[in-house]
Chains A and B, each alone.
Chain A
Amino acid sequence: MPQLQLRGLGNALLEAVDLTVGPGRVVCVSGPSGSGKSRLLRAIADLEPHEGAVCLDETDRSSLPAHVWRARVMLVPAESQWWGETVSEHFVQPMPQALKALGFEPDAASWMVSRLSSGEKQRLALIRALACEPQALLLDEPTANLDDAGSRTVEDWLLAEVRRRSLPVLWVAHDSAQIKRVGDRHFHIRAGRLEST
């Protein structure tokens, strides 16, 4: 059972954070914009220089090549990027069930990226990430571009996948109703400190 452990993780914006997220558990993080939520996730994924250590299970991050770590502890950014022409080029394996669960037609994999709406991109980015079969998830406002009904569909699907795959999850959110629905625990960033609420 994987658990994600942060030890003394910090950067210019954030005081050192110690935190353990158990398997299948969702820890929500909120805070004003610019408070360092996204940079906390980027630090865990090892995308920028910072202090501290992270473990997944017994495996220390520094013992793995960075790209192997990122494939296991996967960050899904708020604004996804697409480099190929069609959706399927970005998937390491086809995900027909996930596409169906999030309301896509079966042929969505062959769609042109240039014609996707921002809401479609956001949902497809989540499916794309889970197609890599990560062992932990870092979600940066995964429903920011969706309406209420769309958000609820994504939440339900994500929670079901998280429980089924026993993934530890850090979920950056700003909507307190959503935090109540999905979070097992909730931390708020205030003046560079992670505070439990």
Chain B
Amino acid sequence: MDVIDLSWWQLGLAALMVVVLAACTWAARLNVATPLLIAATRTVIQLALIGLVLEALFAVGALGWISLMALVMLLVAGREVMARQKHRLTGGWAFGVGTLSMFISAFSVTILTLVVIIGPEPWYTPQYAIPLLGMMLGNTMTGVALSLDRLTETVWRQRAVIENRLMLGQPWQVAIGDIRREAMRSGMMPMVNAMAAAGIVSLPGMMTGQILAGSPPNVAVKYQILIMFTITVGTGFGAFAAVMAGSRRLFDDRERLRIDRLSAARN
């Protein structure tokens, strides 16, 4: 079955519907028309650009260029993780811990999936590698950001409790144990929820896309399950690494809580 290509006038019809929506909200003075149009324009420009980049990348297919693309994606995700935290680790650690956790988890799971499970020839074939890595990084980023934010925020609020537990002779891992568990949980919950709701409440985006593009549903389902599992593993190990490294950094070699290694809240 061939994919029905979309022509520009067909996309134009969809765009026209957005414009109609904007006109209606403008007429009713609901003040969302401007941001709506700006966001819609951004979508067109950003996706058109990435389309060009991907076309070029697919044409070249060289490992060097694919790695460069992956590196840019990783650094942008690292920046995003840092920006979402209220109390950051100081001295570059917020960026470092987040980026390293995502690198360890998202990259190794993507490469493992490519080499062992999907097995395209060569393994870094960009048609497989880049979308897979993008989906991994996007979700791992959310997990790492949520768990790091919960970790640092809770430690900041409960520093007196942690110190009192240290005074009673508890090792630092015990004194921060509850907080670690909470942070890990909040990083994992989105994926646990997504897996629980998949197919019943929601048809996942990738599967929908594949079916629309002409794949038989049972192939789409298998890919979707693969993606769900790999994303969960990536998110889980990413959050795990971030929570472990982040909490270790909050104590020094004499097991003192170093609250001075967190920045005060930004406004």
CB distance from A149 to the nearest CB of B (A): 27
Minimum CB distance partner of B253 in chain A: A66
C-alpha gap A36/B232 in the complex (Å): 50
Contacts of A68 in B (CB 8 A): 169
Contacts of A48 in B (CB 8 A): 256
Contacts of B254 in A (CB 8 A): 46, 66
CB pair A77–B164 under 8 Å, yes or no, is yes
Contacts of A129 in B (CB 8 A): 168
C-alpha gap A151/B166 in the complex (Å): 26
C-alpha gap A74/B169 in the complex (Å): 8
Given contacts A79-B160, A81-B161, A83-B161, contact A67 B255 (CB under 8 A): yes
Interface-located stretch among B14-22, B28-36, B170-178, B180-188: B170-178
Q: Mark B223-267, 1 if CB is under 8 A from A, else 0.
A: 000000000000000000000000000001011110000000000
On chain B, which size bracket covers the interface?
Answer: 10 to 19
Q: Mark A96-137, 1 if CB is under 8 A from B, else 0.
A: 000000000000000000000000000000001100101000
A172 contacts partner chain B, Cβ-Cβ < 8 Å = no
Point out residues on B near A: beta carbons under 8 Å.
Answer: 158, 160-161, 163-172, 178, 252, 254-257
Point out residues on A near B: beta carbons under 8 Å.
Answer: 45-49, 65-68, 70-72, 74-77, 79-83, 128-129, 132, 134
If A47-B167, A70-B169 are given as contacts, then 11 extra A-B residue pairs at C-beta distance below 8 Å, sorted by A number, are: A46-B254, A49-B256, A66-B254, A66-B256, A70-B166, A70-B168, A72-B169, A79-B160, A81-B165, A83-B158, A132-B168
